[in-house]
Structure 1
């Protein structure tokens, strides 16, 4: 595991060989500590794996996420478009997109003093919930009548598009969105996110 400064250095090394840089001059070629904390706040990058005292620790997935973000920005994609695409990105697709050399994904001798939350929490937008299997039935009773089966209804499957609004809030819409749609939705949703945060209804992440 690495400190945030060690993570920044590994991102720099991963991009040094073939990264052309973002076409927008306002975007840093290599994210600094402030940028990484901001990406974490809006849910674009995972929270730290744990803490060593007051030092946050990061791992290989954080490195892949940051490098992938910069590679997408180099193609001229907006941060809101990257947020939406990352919501459905599998670990394998993230690895293919980031193309981080194996040597940079290894190393680091830090010990984490808190449980690794990222290894246990479900990716709610991609992972189906676990279904418990049980053969236990309630004891039968002479007076118990067989339950009437519930009527079956046809279920219509609908494709939804997700827009990450920040603070762990994900908006689902039943239509395919353009990049302009995403940008305008994110801007219009800012007051809503402020209200949700004020009422403690977001994930509580902070920089």
Structure 2
């Protein structure tokens, strides 16, 4: 695999032999990094084969594609014609057009393995620690359900209390809760019972 700069160097070396240049003065004889990226964007050249961090890596097919494009341009073909001809071309067909020297095709090494992120959503959940059945747990460790008592207040509010209040508790709770109930009613969070009459 090569970086874009290494790829451009190989393209230049490949075109050094038997390449008359492009007859059209508007077209660059030898592509640079920007041209390679543009070829990739327009589909003349495949996307990079791999990434090393943020660095794109290219292989032999990319070299063949770029050199084939430049050779066809030197023959007077437009990019549209070249794209029609080379779209989906095999490496053998590209090699026939590009005529890249063998020594430039080699030394393409596979990219180093990228660290893979764990796919936590695809893994089985971790085993839960075994718990002792409730009947075997000591008395102090067993969870106890606390009974709750509901105290109805004005405006539809309900106060939940652990334990059972006495009739006197109900009266005192209603008196103590009145400022909170007035605030909640003023903010529209409770219904004003006087309005519902």
When the two structures are superposed, what TM-score results if normalisation uses the length of structure 1? 0.53
Q: In structure 2, what is the Cα distance between the partners aligned to 1:88 and 1:48?
A: 16
Equivalent residue number for residue 21 of structure 2 = 21
Q: Deviations over 1:6-30 (max 9, x none)?
A: 0000000001011000001111111
Q: Check the 8 A contact 1:48/1:58 in 2, yes or no.
A: yes
Equivalent residue number for residue 71 of structure 2 = 71
Distance apart, 1:108 and its partner CA: 4.0
In structure 1, runs of 5+ residues without a counterpart are 115-207
Q: Deviations over 1:133-187 (max 9, x none)?
A: xxxxxxxxxxxxxxxxxxxxxxxxxxxxxxxxxxxxxxxxxxxxxxxxxxxxxxx
Q: How many residue pairs align between the two structures?
A: 114
Q: Which aligned runs of 4 or more in structure 1 are off by greater than 4 angstroms?
A: none
Equivalent residue number for residue 102 of structure 1 = 102
Larger radius of gyration: 2
Q: Deviations over 1:63-91 (max 9, x none)?
A: 00000000000011100110111125232
Equivalent residue number for residue 5 of structure 2 = 5
Q: In structure 1, what is the Cα distance between the partners aligned to 2:88 and 2:63?
A: 18
Q: In structure 2, what is the Cα distance between the partners aligned to 1:66 and 1:107?
A: 18
Q: In structure 1, what is the Cα distance between the partners aligned to 2:95 and 2:108?
A: 19
Q: Check the 8 A contact 2:60/2:108 in 1, yes or no.
A: no
Mean alpha-carbon deviation: is it higher for 3-12 or for 102-111? Answer: 102-111
Q: In structure 2, what is the Cα distance between the partners aligned to 1:37 and 1:22?
A: 19
CA RMSD, aligned part only? 1.4
In structure 2, runs of 5+ residues without a counterpart are 115-197
When the two structures are superposed, what TM-score results if normalisation uses the length of structure 2? 0.55
Q: Check the 8 A contact 1:57/1:112 in 2, yes or no.
A: no
Distance apart, 1:113 and its partner CA: 4.2
Equivalent residue number for residue 46 of structure 2 = 46
Q: Check the 8 A contact 2:64/2:91 in 1, yes or no.
A: no
Q: Check the 8 A contact 1:51/1:112 in 2, yes or no.
A: no
